[in-house]
Amino acid sequence: MANREDKLHIAMFPWLAFGHMIPYLELAKLIAQKGHCISFISTPRNIDRLPRLPPNLSPFINFIKLPLPHQKNLPPNAEATTDLPLDKVPFLKKAYDSLLESITHFLQSSNPDWLLYDFAAYWLPDIARNLGIPNANFSIFIAAALSFVGPTSVPDYRKEPEEFAVPPKWVPFPTTVAFRLFEVLKLAGELNGEDDDNDNVSAVERIKETLGGCDVIAVRGCMEFEPEWIHLLEDINRKPVLQVGMLPTRPTINDDDIDNDDYHKWKPMKEWLDLQKAGSVVYVAFGSEAEHSQAELNEIALGLELSELPFFWVLRSTRTYGSTRLPDGFEERTRGHGFVCKSWAPQVNILGHDSVGGFLTHAGWSSVVESLQFGRPLVLLTYSNDQGINAKVLEEKMIGHIIERDERDGSFTREAVAESLKLVVVKEEGKIYRDKAKEMKPLFSDMDLQEKYVDNFLDYLITHRQRPKVEDEKVI
């Protein structure tokens, strides 16, 4: 616990996506355990959908509900990206930007010691500076992804899609980390700073503004995993880069938690997993926001079948394509060695089960962390955002294998899926992926190391809790 005089009040403002809100909440809980107070700011419906806090932390985390301003093109009750098809997300960004006035009033009245904000709030650094509040851009993206954006002080030389498909010029060390061409084409204006909607601000421009305007950069990561990228991020932005650790999540259900409703949903899943051989099962899940078409789903399904490996597949409807249909006869043919779950499933519990030998994933970083804390190797099938960079980092470290795809349209075959799964889970030549993933387990699951990173982060915040008033600052 912190000394009374060293206790902080930290405000947090994540982007309206659960892949962002959950890591923010995990960090909030770790900070609250040290006796500091958190104001966690989001919209009412999002806060109501967050996991419940442990009773001992409730006094330290205060949820601040700011109603989302109305946008005419935003469906009712849509407050997070998971509530929307992809083409509606720009309207959510506009609504998020409209929170400027209400969050300014909150910061004025509460006067926190520090403000942590996400990439999307590009307008918030100036507000914090005017209010004299020290602030950090806390990114759920890894340092490699932020470094790929480039220096914020100079215009980006990259204009053509092909220029984003190679390592940028400011990377001084050998690397293969870059987007693949189909990923660049899919991201389109978000990378070159020109949003299709001229009234909106692209993701890259938001990232550049928040990186350029913050006092310090905080990243979900640690020096032991990507030291070269952390040093590069510090060099190109000319400001401190603080690591908060990997923020691993713990299993949500205990075997003796029989009064928990989720336990009864988990029980048949666990019973099926218990029947499988250790290290034999492919766990398949693409997060809550990955968008695969019917054709892509068919190739995934038939690739699983062709691999002849037992699999546990969490299959969700997509926001854009809606319900997708499994190939005719697939469930009948795979019954016994395949488990298809079309509702909620406890991902951390599944990945922690001894029968799981590999994870077919979209390379979202939360899923990567959850997998590697149990030493599970990865088969990577990316869809959007930072996933392409994550996948190349994992491939370069031989922790994950990227499924072969057409470089221009991103299409892939069932044969490529099957071969990748067999390589990573069972083949002798894929043993390096299994071994490297096991090597990562201590790094991603060590709670003592996680505590050290949070302690170091808080020491910095305590030491730098005061900043000069705007009128006292020198113009550089």
Please give the pLDDT value at position 1: 47
pLDDT given at position 199: 66
Q: Establish if 143 belongs to a structural domain.
A: yes
* Greater model confidence, 52 or 261: 52
256 within a domain of the structure (yes/no): no
Co-location of 32 and 140 in the same domain? yes
For residue 429, give the DSSP letter.
Answer: G
Q: Is 90 exposed, middle or buried (0-12, 13-18, 19+ CB in 10 A)?
A: buried
Residue 76 has a CB neighbour count (10 Å cut-off) of: 6
| Residue 116 lies inside a defined structural domain of this protein | yes
Mean pLDDT on 440-448: 94
Q: Does 69 fall in a domain?
A: yes
CB-based burial of residue 54 (10 Å sphere; 0-12 exposed, 13-18 middle, 19+ buried)? exposed
- Same domain for 293 and 217? no
Give me the DSSP letters along 380-424.
E---STTHHHHHHHHHHTTSEEEPP--TTT----HHHHHHHHHHH
Question: Does the pLDDT value for residue 71 go beyond 90?
Answer: no
DSSP secondary structure letters along 51-81: PPPPTTTGGGEEEEE-PPPP-TTSPTT--SG
417: left (phi over 0), alpha (psi -120 to 50) or beta: alpha
Query: Are 301 and 387 within one domain?
Result: yes
Tokens 């603080």 label which residue? 242
271 falls within a domain:
yes
Mean pLDDT, range 33-55, rounded to an integer: 96
pLDDT score recorded for residue 245: 95
Q: Which domain holds residue 213?
A: 4-245+446-472
pLDDT tens digits, 281-305: 999 999 877 778 899 999 999 999 9
Q: Are residues 403 and 452 in the same domain?
A: no
In a domain, 198, yes or no: yes
Domain count, the chain: 2
CATH number of the domain where residue 72 is located: 3.40.50.2000
pLDDT band at 259 (very low <50, low <70, confident <90, very high): low
pLDDT reading at 421 higher than 90: yes
Q: What is the pLDDT of residues 93-132, one digit of tens each?
A: 999 999 999 999 999 999 999 999 999 999 999 999 999 9
- Say whether both 378 and 417 belong to one domain: yes
The reply to whether 252 falls in a domain is no
Distances from the Cα of 170 to the Cα of 110, 243, 343, 405, angstroms: 41, 22, 44, 28
- How do residues 309-337 score in pLDDT, each as one tens digit? 999 999 987 655 556 789 999 999 999 89
Cβ-based neighbour number of residue 18 at 10 Å: 20
Residues 405 and 451 in one domain: no
Does residue 343 share a domain with residue 458? no
245 phi and psi angles, rounded to 5 deg = 90, 180
- Decide if 432 is inside a domain: yes
Same domain, 57 and 67: yes
Pair 276, 424 in one domain: yes
Residue 468, pLDDT > 60, answer no
Q: State how far the Cα of 443 lies from the Cα of 224, in Å rounded to an integer.
A: 8
The answer on 283 and 407 residing in a single domain is yes
Return d(Cα 207, Cα 213) in angstroms, integer: 10
Assess whether 103 and 230 both reside in one domain: yes
323 and 364 assigned to the same domain? yes
Q: How much is the average pLDDT of 345-368?
A: 96
pLDDT at 473: 45
